[in-house]
């Protein structure tokens, strides 16, 4: 934000001065600058860049985890590991596609839920009339600073068959499911409940046609009950962090704007939609981006709570990559999964950027055009 | 100006890469330099609990004191994962536990030193256990102990349903009929683990198994296996058997200890678990009921693996020799309730633990774990299918198993 607001004046300045300023750095200063950043560059190179490049290399080999992957006798597999994930019918592709399906439903539910919840919480604690504001802020933020492993263990107790969640449901006469051991998909359950399909006897057109190793019926399962428990957990944990971001942005909105809009006759709802939300757009972008990246990388909760069970419905690409590499000693395929996941995250973020791109310029030109015509 | 920055950055990168690559390259030779004299052995164990850790640590200390070496025993949090990482990091422990299910992967990857031929009395160990750790005709490592699955019966619940000693089921039909009587008395009859490591016993009793005897052919999709799965599915469908998760427990032993079911099928580890957590449960142990093709059960075992990369081969072999000696095995048996892997200790063991006869008897006809590389994810997939046995067609399950096993065995 800072950058964009400062950019225009710089551009308007005469070019020579800009150049002069750059060359104003003399040689010793430049060397000193490099010296100052050198430790970080070295650390990032050794612990980030080189391992990533090595992993990329491993994804093109069938290295078995013995010795260095850079030796000459490590068999080169070309695109074989990637072909196994997409093109070749087999268990690897089936597992990978199952994990993609699970994570897709996970992202579709977690990102909107946590964004809306975070915004709601931020609006709540931003109320000037609210008492004990700092207590609520701390309380809402607390899950974010607690270890995810500890939270997951607590949630396993909450969602146990005879746990608190099912206890509360029982007050209303609802018999809760066996949360962490129920592999039934949510969409399947809903479709079954409204009588569209029979869950034990899926329609042949869905069950017999397949796409990339999974039948349409499997693709359309929705998140399993077990995955829903993890979704609840994650939404509860992360919304605190994002609440903080929204809160910071909300406090940046000048009070005058609110007062002006209220004087102009806007209702609270109109103020929220027409004034506050546009002002929050950069933060919204940040929150959704971080949410997308974080949800595609979900690992700890799966590792602690379910290890992919029941019936692989909580398997995610990140966990599958770990399992394939370190437990099945199939490092090439494990690394390939990691890079496909990387590509997915990049593409999703680009799509999101495109969807949320700034369209104000075009629209205002359109408005001006219309206004001019109406006059 | 800009170019010079780029050149500098590239130089940084190149140096760093060469440095780290050469650092990785060191110590990767296939024949590690051997060191004689006092060794400093690192021993990684997948311990079943504090009792085992203490016993192994004490045994290691005794060996170290007697031979003048040093041995550090480290209990692993997650053995398979830690070993996988250690192999990849090229710095594995010298001696470690190898689970039978992972053995073929490690042996194929060349991570293990095949030292079986250097153990003089290797023939004393049960044939079925030695087979488990033989790869390409070589005995790679010596089994440290073993366990088998047997049937546990809660005597109180048994009596509550009006059943007596004579009603202990010895066949599938009897199992079904006592289960029906238990159910009629309002007792959950059977709790069975939702994995091939329990349900697989029924496949063995029906005469089937996942792979052929020599481990080279996939035999999952056989009528015998189908018969077994349909029998188990029938028990579940009629409410005669449940999975531990269905009654809010982690495994059969926990459900059995909480007296939520009258019958379970677990290995001899259940003794220690019940003694520690549920000392008041009264139960008896019996052999698994026989199926259409006779008796059948599953055996589980772990061996003392030695790293192919160790600098102390001789010392490591001597360490294992000490750990699997008859004298030491008896001590382990007393400390944490495992069964000795030496057949010569059978009678001595039975004299001490007469209640374990059913477990020991299983050694004669037990089926060992599937021994083939790359099979772990296939078996995990089969387990995922078994978790949904109640709503899945067993035929589909077995067809998938067959397809995946064939693919794994082929490459």
Q: Residue B322: its pLDDT value, please?
A: 93
Q: In this structure, what are the phi and psi dihedrals at residue A127, rounded to the nearest 5 degrees? A: -60, 130
Say which of A34, A45, A311 has its CB closest to residue B13.
A45
B406: contact with A, CB 8 A cutoff? no
ipTM of this predicted structure? 0.71
Q: Residue B323: its pLDDT value, please?
A: 93
In sign, the C-alpha dihedral spanning B222, B224, B230, B233 is negative
Around Cβ B203, how many Cβ atoms within 10 Å? 28
Residues from chain B contacting residue A66 (CB–CB below 8 Å): 87-88, 90, 109-111
A303: contact with B, CB 8 A cutoff? no
Say which of A66, A91, A200 has its CB closest to residue B404.
A91
- The answer to whether the CB of B33 falls within 8 A of the CB of B311 is yes
Distance from CA of B78 to the nearest CA of A (A): 10
Q: Residue A360: its pLDDT value, please?
A: 59
Domains along chain A with CATH numbers: 90-185+222-358 (1.10.3720.10)
Tokens, residue B264: 């379970």
Residues from chain A contacting residue B404 (CB–CB below 8 Å): 90-91
- What does the pLDDT look like over A133-192, one tens digit per residue? 888 888 888 888 888 899 999 998 898 877 889 889 989 988 888 888 888 888 988 988
Domains along chain B with CATH numbers: 40-147+300-367 (3.40.190.10), 149-298+372-410 (3.40.190.10)
- The answer to whether the CB of B145 falls within 8 A of the CB of B341 is yes
Q: Residue B168: its pLDDT value, please?
A: 92
A215: contact with B, CB 8 A cutoff? no
Residues from chain A contacting residue B88 (CB–CB below 8 Å): 65-66, 326, 331
Tokens, residue B52: 């085992």
Q: What residues form DSSP beta bridges with B143?
A: B303
Task: Give the C-alpha separation, A37 to A40, whole Å.
Answer: 6
Residues from chain A contacting residue B407 (CB–CB below 8 Å): 90-91
CA-nearest residue of chain B to A326? B84
Residues in chain B: 411
Distance from CA of B156 to the nearest CA of A (A): 25
Burial class (CB in 10 A: 0-12, 13-18, 19+), B65: exposed
Task: Give the C-alpha separation, A101 to A356, whole Å.
Answer: 25
What does DSSP say about strands B297-306 and B366-367: parallel, antiparallel, or unpaired? parallel
DSSP state of B32: P
CA-nearest residue of chain B to A330? B374
* Secondary structure of residue B365 in the 3-state scheme: coil
Cα-only R_g, chain A:
26
Mutate to test the interface with A, among B380, B386, B396 (most CBs of A within 10 A): B380
- The answer to whether the CB of B320 falls within 8 A of the CB of B118 is no
Around Cβ B49, how many Cβ atoms within 10 Å? 13
CA-nearest residue of chain B to A72? B25
* Secondary structure of residue A218 in the 3-state scheme: helix
Q: Residue B216: its pLDDT value, please?
A: 82
Q: Which residues of chain A have pLDDT under 50?
A: 1-15, 17-20, 375
B91: contact with A, CB 8 A cutoff? no
CA-nearest residue of chain A to B408? A91
B110: contact with A, CB 8 A cutoff? yes
B191: contact with A, CB 8 A cutoff? no
Q: What is the pLDDT along chain B (411 residues), one digit of tens a residue?
A: 444 455 444 444 444 444 444 444 443 445 677 877 788 999 999 887 788 899 999 999 999 999 999 999 999 988 988 898 888 887 899 999 998 888 988 898 888 999 999 988 888 998 888 888 988 889 999 999 998 999 999 999 999 999 988 899 999 999 999 999 999 999 999 999 999 999 999 999 999 999 887 778 899 999 999 999 999 999 999 999 999 988 878 889 999 999 999 999 998 888 888 888 899 999 999 999 999 999 999 989 999 999 998 999 999 999 999 999 999 999 888 888 788 999 899 888 888 888 888 998 888 888 888 888 788 889 988 998 898 888 888 998 999 899 889 888 886
Q: Residue B22: its pLDDT value, please?
A: 42
Q: Residue B23: its pLDDT value, please?
A: 42
């Amino acid at each position: 934000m800072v950058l964009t607001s400062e950019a225009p004046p710089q551009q308007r300045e005469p070019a020579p001065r800009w150049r002069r300023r750059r060359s104003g750095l003399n040689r010793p200063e430049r060397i000193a600058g490099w010296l100052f950043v050198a430790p970080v560059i070295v650390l990032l190179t050794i612990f980030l860049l080189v391992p990533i490049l090595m992993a990329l290399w491993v994804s093109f080999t069938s290295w078995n985890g013995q010795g260095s992957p850079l030796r000459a006798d490590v068999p080169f597999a070309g695109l074989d590991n990637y072909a196994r994930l997409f093109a070749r019918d087999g268990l690897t592709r089936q597992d990978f596609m199952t994990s993609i399906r699970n994570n897709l439903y996970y992202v579709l539910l977690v990102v909107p839920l946590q964004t809306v919840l975070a915004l709601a919480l931020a609006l709540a604690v931003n109320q000037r009339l609210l008492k004990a504001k700092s207590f609520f802020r701390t309380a809402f933020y607390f899950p974010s600073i607690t270890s995810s492993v500890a939270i997951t263990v607590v949630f396993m107790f909450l969602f146990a068959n005879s746990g608190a969640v099912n206890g509360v449901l029982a007050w209303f006469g609802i018999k809760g499911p066996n949360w962490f051991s129920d592999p039934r998909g949510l969409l399947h359950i809903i479709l079954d409940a409204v009588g569209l399909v029979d869950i034990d006897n899926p329609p042949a057109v869905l069950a017999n046609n397949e796409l990339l190793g999974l039948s349409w019926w499997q693709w359309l399962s929705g998140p399993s009950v077990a995955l829903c428990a993890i979704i609840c957990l994650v939404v509860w944990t992360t919304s605190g962090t994002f609440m903080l971001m929204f809160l910071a942005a909300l406090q940046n909105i000048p009070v005058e704007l609110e007062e002006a809009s209220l004087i102009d006759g806007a209702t609270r709802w109109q103020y929220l939609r027409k004034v506050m939300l546009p002002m929050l757009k950069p933060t919204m972008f940040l929150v959704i981006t971080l949410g997308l990246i974080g949800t595609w990388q979900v690992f700890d909760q799966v590792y602690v709570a379910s290890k992919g069970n029941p019936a692989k419905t909580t398997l995610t690409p990140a966990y599958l990559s770990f399992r394939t590499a370190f437990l099945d000693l199939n490092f090439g395929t494990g690394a390939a999964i990691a890079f496909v996941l990387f590509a997915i995250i990049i593409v999703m973020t680009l799509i999101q950027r495109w969807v949320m791109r700034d369209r104000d310029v075009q629209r205002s030109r359109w408005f001006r055009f219309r206004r001019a015509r109406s006059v | 100006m800009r170019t010079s920055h780029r050149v500098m950055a590239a130089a940084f990168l190149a140096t760093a890469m060469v440095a780290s690559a050469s650092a990785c390259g060191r110590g990767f030779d296939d024949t590690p330099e051997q060191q004689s004299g006092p060794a400093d052995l690192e021993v990684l164990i997948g311990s079943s609990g504090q009792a085992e850790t203490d016993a192994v640590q004490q045994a290691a200390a005794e060996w170290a004191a007697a031979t003048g070496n040093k041995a550090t025993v480290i209990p692993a949090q997650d053995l398979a994962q830690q070993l996988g990482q250690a192999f990849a990091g090229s710095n594995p422990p010298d001696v470690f536990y190898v689970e039978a299910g992972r053995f073929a992967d490690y042996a194929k990857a060349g991570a293990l030193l095949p030292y079986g031929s250097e153990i003089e009395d290797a023939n004393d160990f049960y044939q079925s256990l030695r087979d488990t750790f033989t790869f390409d005709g070589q005995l790679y490592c010596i089994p440290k102990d073993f366990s088998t699955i047997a049937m546990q019966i809660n005597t109180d619940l048994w009596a509550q349903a009006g059943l007596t000693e004579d009603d202990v089921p010895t066949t599938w039909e009897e199992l079904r009929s006592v289960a029906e009587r238990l159910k009629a008395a309002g007792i959950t009859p059977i709790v069975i683990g939702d994995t091939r490591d329990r349900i697989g016993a029924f496949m063995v009793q029906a005469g089937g198994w996942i792979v052929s005897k020599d481990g080279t052919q996939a035999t999952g999709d056989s009528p015998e296996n189908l018969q077994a799965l349909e029998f188990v599915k029938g028990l579940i469908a009629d409410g005669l058997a449940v999975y531990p998760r269905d009654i809010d427990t982690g495994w059969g032993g926990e459900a059995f200890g909480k007296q939520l079911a009258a019958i379970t099928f677990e290995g001899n580890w259940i003794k220690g678990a019940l003694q520690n957590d549920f000392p008041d449960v009264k139960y008896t142990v019996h052999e698994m009921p026989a199926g259409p093709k006779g008796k059948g059960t599953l055996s589980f075992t772990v061996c003392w693996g030695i790293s192919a990369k160790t600098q102390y081969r001789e010392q490591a072999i001597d360490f294992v020799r000490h750990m699997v000696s008859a004298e030491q095995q008896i001590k382990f048996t007393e400390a944490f309730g495992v069964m000795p892997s030496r057949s010569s200790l059978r009678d001595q063991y039975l004299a001490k633990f007469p209640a374990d006869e059913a477990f020991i008897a299983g050694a004669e006809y037990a089926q060992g774990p599937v021994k083939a590389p790359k099979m772990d994810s296939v078996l995990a997939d089969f387990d995922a299918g078994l978790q949904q046995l109640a709503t899945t067609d067993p035929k589909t399950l077995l067809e998938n198993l067959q397809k995946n096993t064939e693919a794994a065995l082929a490459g």
